C-alpha cells in the first residue's frame, strides 16, 4: 500500500511539474517578439505638379524592432486608389517600386527582392507615383495601400500600410465673407487639404491660418485631424478582436464607436483589458441600480469617448478607426510657440456639445464653448477642421 501511495505521489508531483513547465514554456512563447517589423508613416513630395501630370515620391522605412531576431521583408505590393469629386475617366496611374539599398540592384519591373532586416535596422522603400490625364485639379487624394509580407520566427504574415497623400490644396483666398458672428466672438471656419500622417499641426496653421489671424485670436482644431497627423488611426483589418471585445461590444448602443468588436478592441489595446472589463462591470451596476449613466466612459480612459469607428470621419478615413490625439496639451503649446496664437484642440458635434481636450493658458474655456456651440466647422464633408475665433472687444 505504501508503495502505491508513493507511486501516486510521484506521479502527481511529476504531473504538477510538467504542467508548471508547460505554463512556463507557454509564457515564454507568448512574450517573444516574433515578426516585429513595421513601416513608418512615410514622407512624400511632389516631383511634378502640372495641370495634366502629377508625379510624387513616397518613401517609407520598414524597421525591425526586435531585440535579436532577423525578420525578412519578402514582398511589397503597392495599390493605388484615387479620390475625386468628379469622374476618373481618362485618368491613368502607374507606380515604380524601388529599394533604397545599395546592396540590391534597382529593378524596373516592380518586383521586390526578399531582404533580411537585422535587429534595429531599417530598409527603405521608394514608390514613385505617376498620375496623368485631364481635370486633375478635381483629385482630392491618393490612397496608397502598401501590402507587404514579412517572414520570420512568427511564420509568414501579410500586412498593409496605409498612406493618404493629399492632391488638392485650397487657395489662400479672402475669407472676409465667411466670418460668422456669435454673441461674444466672430468665428471663421478654415478649409484645408485632406490632412495626413505626413502633416505637422504647426505647419498647417502657418499655411492656412497665419495670413487671416491677428493678435488676440484663438485657433481651434478638431481632435480627429490631430490624431490623423499623429498617425493614430488603424484599419480594421489590422485589429484582431479578442474574447472580451467580441462579447462586450453587443452591450453598447449601435451608434457608439464601441459597438463593434474592432472599435472596442481598439480601446482595449489603449487602456488594457482589465481596466475596460472593470469599467464595464462598474458602469453596468451604476446604470442598473443607481440610474447613473456614463460611468463606463469615466473609468475606461480618455480614448473611450474619443474613438471614431468606421464612417466616423470623411473619406478615405471613413474606412479607418481613428483614436483620440496623443498628448494634446503639448500639441497646443507647440502651435502657440509656432504661430503666436492661443490654441485649443476640441471635440464638437451638432448636438451642441463642446469638449475642450487641451488649451493654452490664454484660451478661455467659457469663450470656446460659446463660440463653438453651433459647430461652425460642420460635421459632414466641409473639410474645415480649423476654426479661428476672434473675441469681441468687450470680452
The pLDDT of residue 231: 94
pLDDT in tens, 359-381: 999 999 999 999 999 888 887 77
| Dihedral sign computed on CA atoms, order 26, 249, 228, 315 | positive
The pLDDT of residue 319: 95
The pLDDT of residue 104: 65
Instruction: Report the greatest alpha carbon distance in the chain.
Output: 100
Range 193-208 average pLDDT: 94
Range 95-114 average pLDDT: 84
Query: How big, in percent rounded to 5, are the helix, strand and coil portions of the chain?
Result: 30, 30, 35
Cα dihedral 325→329→333→339 (10° resolution): 40
The pLDDT of residue 194: 94
Cα dihedral 282→286→289→291 (10° resolution): -160
The pLDDT of residue 175: 57
pTM listed for this prediction: 0.88
Query: Read out DSSP for 360-386?
Result: -TTS-HHHHHHHHTT-TT-SSS----E
Confidence of residue 177 (pLDDT cuts 50, 70, 90): low
The pLDDT of residue 173: 58
pLDDT in tens, 126-145: 999 999 998 799 999 999 99
Range 219-234 average pLDDT: 96
The pLDDT of residue 308: 93
Q: Domain residues of the chain, as ranges?
A: 37-166, 176-231+324-391, 233-322
Answer whether residue 174 shows pLDDT above 60: no
The pLDDT of residue 12: 77
| 365 phi/psi in degrees, rounded to 5 | -65, -35
Question: Cell triple for residue 317?
Answer: 478615413
Query: Exposure of 191 by Cβ count < 10 A (0-12 exposed, 13-18 middle, 19+ buried)?
Result: middle
Answer whether residue 26 shows pLDDT above 80: no
Range 164-193 average pLDDT: 84
3-class secondary structure, 18: helix
Q: Distance between CA 339 and CA 342 in Å, rounded?
A: 9
| Type and span of the H or E element at 201 | helix 201-208
Range 199-214 average pLDDT: 94
The pLDDT of residue 72: 96
Using CA atoms, how far residue 88 sits from 51, 163, 195, in Å, is: 15, 20, 22
Q: What percent of the chain has pLDDT over 90?
A: 73
The pLDDT of residue 394: 54
The pLDDT of residue 108: 85
Please name which of 232, 148, 239 lies closest in space to residue 195, comparing C-alpha atoms.
232
Confidence of residue 1 (pLDDT cuts 50, 70, 90): low
Q: Which residue has the cell 484645408?
A: 192
Q: Distance between CA 266 and CA 128 in Å, rounded?
A: 32
The pLDDT of residue 92: 95
Query: Read out DSSP for 223-241?
Result: HHHHHHHTT-EE-GGG---
Range 163-173 average pLDDT: 86
Helices (H), 249-389: 261-271, 273-289, 295-299, 303-306, 328-339, 365-372
Q: Distance between CA 77 and CA 97 in Å, rounded?
A: 8
Q: Distance between CA 387 and CA 187 in Å, rounded?
A: 6
Answer whether residue 266 shows pLDDT above 90: yes
Q: What percent of the chain has pLDDT over 70?
A: 95
Q: Distance between CA 227 and CA 209 in Å, rounded?
A: 19
Please name which of 195, 197, 83, 78 lies closest in space to residue 145, comparing C-alpha atoms.
78
Q: Distance between CA 386 and CA 356 in Å, rounded?
A: 14
Range 168-182 average pLDDT: 75
Q: Distance between CA 273 and CA 279 in Å, rounded?
A: 10
The pLDDT of residue 379: 75
Range 16-29 average pLDDT: 81
The pLDDT of residue 167: 95
CATH fold of the domain at 176-231+324-391: 60s Ribosomal Protein L30; Chain: A; (3.30.1330)
Cα dihedral 275→262→200→172 (10° resolution): -130
CATH fold of the domain at 37-166: Immunoglobulin-like (2.60.40)
Cα dihedral 341→344→350→352 (10° resolution): -100
Amino acid at each position: 500500500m505504501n508503495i502505491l501511495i508513493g507511486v501516486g505521489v510521484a506521479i502527481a508531483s511529476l504531473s504538477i511539474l510538467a504542467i508548471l513547465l508547460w505554463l512556463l514554456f507557454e509564457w515564454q512563447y507568448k512574450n517573444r517578439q516574433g515578426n516585429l517589423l513595421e513601416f513608418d508613416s512615410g514622407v512624400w513630395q511632389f516631383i511634378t505638379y502640372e495641370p495634366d501630370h502629377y508625379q510624387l515620391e513616397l518613401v517609407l522605412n520598414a524597421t525591425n524592432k526586435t531585440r535579436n531576431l532577423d525578420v525578412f521583408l519578402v514582398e511589397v505590393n503597392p495599390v493605388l486608389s484615387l479620390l475625386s469629386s468628379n469622374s476618373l475617366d481618362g485618368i491613368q496611374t502607374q507606380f515604380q517600386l524601388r529599394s533604397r539599398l545599395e546592396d540590391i540592384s534597382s529593378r524596373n519591373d516592380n518586383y521586390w527582392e526578399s531582404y533580411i532586416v537585422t535587429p534595429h535596422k531599417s530598409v527603405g522603400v521608394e514608390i514613385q507615383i505617376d498620375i496623368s490625364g485631364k481635370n486633375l485639379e478635381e483629385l482630392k487624394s491618393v490612397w496608397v495601400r502598401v501590402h507587404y509580407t514579412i517572414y520570420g520566427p512568427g511564420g509568414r504574415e501579410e500586412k498593409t500600410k496605409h498612406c493618404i497623400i493629399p492632391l488638392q490644396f485650397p487657395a489662400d483666398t479672402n475669407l472676409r465673407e465667411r466670418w460668422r458672428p456669435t454673441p461674444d466672438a466672430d468665428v471663421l471656419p478654415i478649409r484645408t487639404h485632406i490632412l495626413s500622417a505626413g502633416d505637422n499641426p504647426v505647419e498647417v496653421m502657418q499655411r492656412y491660418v497665419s495670413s487671416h489671424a491677428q493678435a488676440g485670436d484663438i485657433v481651434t482644431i478638431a481632435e480627429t485631424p490631430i490624431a490623423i497627423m499623429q498617425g493614430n488611426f488603424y484599419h480594421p483589418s489590422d485589429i484582431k478582436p479578442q474574447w472580451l471585445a467580441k462579447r462586450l461590444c453587443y452591450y453598447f448602443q449601435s451608434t457608439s464607436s464601441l459597438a463593434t468588436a474592432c472599435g472596442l478592441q481598439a480601446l482595449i489595446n489603449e487602456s488594457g483589458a482589465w481596466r475596460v472589463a472593470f469599467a464595464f462591470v462598474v458602469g453596468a451596476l451604476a446604470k442598473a441600480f443607481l440610474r447613473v449613466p456614463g460611468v463606463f466612459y469615466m473609468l475606461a480612459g480618455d480614448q473611450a469617448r474619443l474613438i471614431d469607428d468606421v464612417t466616423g470621419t470623411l473619406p478615405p478615413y471613413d474606412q479607418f478607426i481613428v483614436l483620440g490625439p496623443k498628448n494634446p496639451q503639448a500639441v497646443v503649446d507647440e502651435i502657440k510657440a509656432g504661430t503666436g496664437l492661443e490654441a485649443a484642440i476640441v471635440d464638437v458635434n451638432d448636438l451642441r456639445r463642446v469638449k475642450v481636450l487641451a488649451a493654452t493658458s490664454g484660451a478661455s474655456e467659457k469663450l470656446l464653448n460659446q463660440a463653438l456651440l453651433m459647430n461652425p466647422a460642420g460635421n459632414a464633408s466641409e473639410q474645415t477642421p480649423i476654426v479661428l475665433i476672434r473675441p469681441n472687444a468687450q470680452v
